[in-house]
Amino acid sequence: MRNLFVITIFFFSLVGNTQAQIVDKKNLIEKNAELKKIEGGFSFTEGPAVSRLGDVYFTDQPNNRIMKWSFFTGKTEVFMENAGRSNGMFFDKEGNLIACADMDNQIWSIDEEGNKTILIESYQGKKLNGPNDLFITPTGEMYITDPLYVRDYWTRSLESQQNGEHLYFLSSNRLQFIRVDEKLERPNGIIGTPDGKTLYVADAGAKKIFKYDIIEDGYLSNKEVYLERGSDGMTIDFRGNLYLTGEDGVKVYNKKAEEVAHIPVPEKWTSNVTFAGPDRKTLFITATEGVYQIRMKVYGTH
């Protein structure tokens, strides 16, 4: 039967000679596609964000820089040094790169020349824990996760100034900055549907992924557990399949929270994932020391 169709692709791990297996139960991956390493030698890659042209900007956080990968040339280059130890990133509708710059626990807007504007630097006069990841809706509203991962480069007090690790909302006019969920243990990865109606948040502390309805003025309702597992960064395709990362490559779950694909990655950790290229059919994966790509049949929405 078609719904039991499984494509299995073999490739040799770049670490040792162990054989890994790509499992694709719903025909999401292009036929005969292979996972390809784009470049290695980084300290820890994170925060891939796709531009309008399909290029990907990602962070090499320990080296405090933002890199740019060109889809057309296949080459990477440094886009920005002294990048505020940026972590998660996302492009807004004006083409600015919005970054979780946790050196000073801020949210930055970076233009195409690399000039930064600080959008958020505190909540009610107190520093955030360390913004980790964000999602921007089609109408420009922003959702931001703020876990506390103590950094060895902080010179301030390592104690949290907030009363917990929360999920925040920033309005499109940048005037309203509020908490929208104060009952998470350690919010981390975040992504929303392209219609701006549904939000997914990975709670690394609870090892759960929560699903919300986005309602008027950015508030959230109908919170429910989507999946009993955690994730680092996440993305979504046009079918509504969710792509999760962590210690076992990239795993894909459908709207019913059923696992439908698994893409092993020869690194200790996969941190984040996005869809790249003008057609948004190249899955771009950030991992511990390298970045990878694989061609898909489905396309992404961000």
In a domain, 18, yes or no: yes
Residues in contact with 31: Cβ distance below 8 Å, sequence separation at least 6, in sequence order? 7
105-112: which pairs have CB atoms within 8 A and are 24 or more residues apart? 105/129, 105/130, 105/131, 106/131, 107/131, 107/134, 107/142, 107/144, 107/170, 108/84, 110/66, 110/80
pLDDT given at position 13: 37
Q: Tell me how many domains the chain contains.
A: 1
Among the listed residues 47, 38, 33, the one whose alpha carbon sits nearest the alpha carbon of residue 270: 47
Q: What is the pLDDT of residue 54?
A: 97
Q: Does a structural domain hold residue 168?
A: yes
Q: How far apart are CA 244 and CA 172, in angstroms?
A: 27
Tokens of 90: 């996302």
279 in a structural domain:
yes
Sheet strand arrangement including 106-110: 86-91, 97-101, 106-110, 116-120
Q: Is residue 302 part of a domain?
A: no
pLDDT at residue 159, rounded to an integer: 85
- Non-local (6+) Cβ contacts of 3 within 8 A are 26
For position 122, which CATH number holds? 2.120.10.30
- For 177, phi then psi, to 5°, come to -130, 110
Write out the residue range of the structural domain in which residue 44 sits: 2-295
Assess if residue 300 is contained within a domain. Answer: no
Tell whether 286 is covered by a domain: yes
| Structure token pair of residue 235 | 């993305």
Asked if residue 188 lies in contact with residue 165, where contact means CB atoms within 8 angstroms, the answer is no
| 91 in a structural domain | yes
pLDDT of residue 8: 39
Tens place of pLDDT for every residue, the chain, 302 residues? Answer: 434 333 333 333 333 333 479 999 999 999 999 999 999 999 999 999 999 999 999 999 999 999 999 999 999 999 999 999 999 999 999 999 999 999 999 999 999 999 999 999 999 999 999 999 999 999 999 999 999 998 888 887 788 899 999 999 999 999 999 999 999 999 999 999 999 999 999 999 999 999 999 998 899 999 999 999 999 999 999 999 999 999 999 999 999 999 999 999 999 999 999 999 999 999 999 999 999 999 999 999 88
Specify the pTM: 0.92
Q: Is residue 240 part of a domain?
A: yes
